[in-house]
Amino acid sequence: MGKETLKVVILGDGAVGKTSLRNQFVHKRFAMAYKATIGSDFASKEVETQDGRKVSMQIWDTAGQERFQSLGVAFYRGTDVCILVYDVTKPESVTNLLKWMTDFIRQADIPNPDSFPFVVVGNKVDVSNRAVSKRQGQEIAPPTPPTPFTPTHSPHSLPLFEVSAKTGTRVDDIFAYIAHNKTAAKQTEQLYNPTISP
Ligand code: GDP
Ligand code: MG
């Protein structure tokens, strides 16, 4: 059996730390200077799962177009897993995740949104001025569903990782979780039965 490749997209408001998360995971690097990413692109990294399977993670980052809301079909097409990132110092970045999720489901043309593997990430837990509790992060549910595509079981049941792209805390866990669950799911046809807990 050939090596599996997963296309992973990272979505969320500008400056929540999407590029930093990817750099921390792929290059083990962090830069405090803020540069809007130029041109959407992907970087790959191989992960070995607990049961010894090699998974190549193709991680797509936005080009800073998140400021203009939509990223376009090419960015989303063929996505296996979507990471939704908020900033624990910015409550509005949590509420905006619903918009990102809805846009993703529409643009990526996800046939079965209810079972699509989203992973929620609360970034910047190293800071002292935290404004979003873990509980609040888990409540990404809208008061009223804005579109017919809004997952019914979610967002309450979406896995949530609280991380720091700066210190690296729990960053690898996100991708280990994805590699393990998503690829195991592909084999059993049973989507997302988490065995690595967030
Ligand atoms: P993006 O627009 O979502 O790609 O966000 P960036 O990765 O460019 O990060 C935006 C800003 O937040 C930069 O100044 C980063 O240095 C900073 N940043 C990102 N992650 C963290 C983190 O975990 N902790 C802290 N303290 N700052 C972070
Ligand atoms: Mg960026």
Q: What is the pLDDT of residues 17-76, one digit of tens each?
A: 999 999 999 988 887 665 555 555 788 999 998 888 899 999 998 867 776 666 778 889
Q: Is residue 182 assigned to a domain? A: yes
Q: Is residue 54 part of a domain?
A: yes
171 lines ligand 1 (CB under 6 A): no
196 part of a folded domain: no
103 inside domain: yes
Q: Which ligand is nearest to the CA of 67?
A: 1
Q: 27: domain CATH number?
A: 3.40.50.300
The pTM for the full model equals 0.85
Question: Does ligand 1 have an atom closer than 6 angstroms to the CB of 180?
Answer: no
Gap from CA of 19 to ligand 2 centroid (Å):
4
Ligand nearest to the CA of 12: 1
d(CA 112, CA 22): 27
**Residue 198: what pLDDT?**
64
The tally of domains found in the chain comes to 1
Residue 81 lies in a domain: yes
Is position 198 within any domain? no
> Ligand 2 centroid to 2 CA: how many Å?
32
Domain assignment of residue 193, yes or no: no
144 pLDDT tier (thresholds 50, 70, 90): very low
